Amino acid sequence: MKPVLEFFPIVLFFVAYKLYDIYVATAVVIVATIVQVAAYWLLYRKVETMHWITLGLILVMGGATLYLQDEQFIKWKLTIIEWLFGGAFLVSQFIGNKTFIERMMGANLELPTRIWKRLNLSWSLFFIGVGFLNLYVMAHYSTDDWVSFKTFGVPGLMVVFIVVQMAFLYKHVPAPETKK
């Protein structure tokens, strides 16, 4: 159920854009994100911080897009969210006992501190890089291209990045001990 909840706002945004325009798509993604957060609460009695941040940004940036009839605001939302996550990961390199990535994956994986830090830094740089890439696409391509980039390009980049991370981690995960 979680994967459906994660992706349905972006899928509805894409469909609404293709059927109508960026403004209808923005209204649809605002409503879909509100429904997403409500569904998380009803199903799990908990809403992740990431979902609250995304909801806040979609309300502010989407609201500005609709009120001012300027599509740049909704386009900037992706960069802002990516930079917030990248910055949070980066700050966790220096503050606290564990990096964000170690807090998220540490219960399932045992790695040396230097590997956790390297992994965390790579996630930080990935998020920051995607934010800059979004700015590039916004400035140099059409809204149609940007919507495709947001819908398919960013998730595709994430999948490729995760596969690369898995290959990196594979080298550092200790082999399971066999019983004799």
* Residue 95, domain member (yes or no): yes
> Cα(50)–Cα(63) distance, rounded to whole angstroms?
19
* Residue 24, domain member (yes or no): yes
* Residue 178, domain member (yes or no): no
* Residue 179, domain member (yes or no): no
* Residue 180, domain member (yes or no): no
Give me the domain span that covers residue 157: 71-173
Residues 83 and 151 in one domain: yes
What angle in degrees, to the nearest 10, is found between the helix axes of 113-140 and 72-92? Answer: 170
| Pair 167, 125: CB distance under 8 Å | no
The model's pTM: 0.88
Residues 58 and 97 in one domain: no
| Pair 16, 24: CB distance under 8 Å | yes
Helices (H) and strands (E) in the chain, counts: 9, 0
Residues 113 and 139 in one domain: yes
Question: In one letter, which amino acid is 53?
Answer: I
Q: How many domains does the chain have?
A: 2
- Taking only the tens of pLDDT, the chain with its 180 residues reads 777 888 899 999 999 999 999 999 999 999 999 999 999 999 999 998 889 999 999 999 999 999 999 999 999 999 999 999 999 999 999 998 899 999 988 888 888 889 999 999 999 999 999 999 999 999 999 999 999 999 999 999 999 999 999 998 887 776 666 655
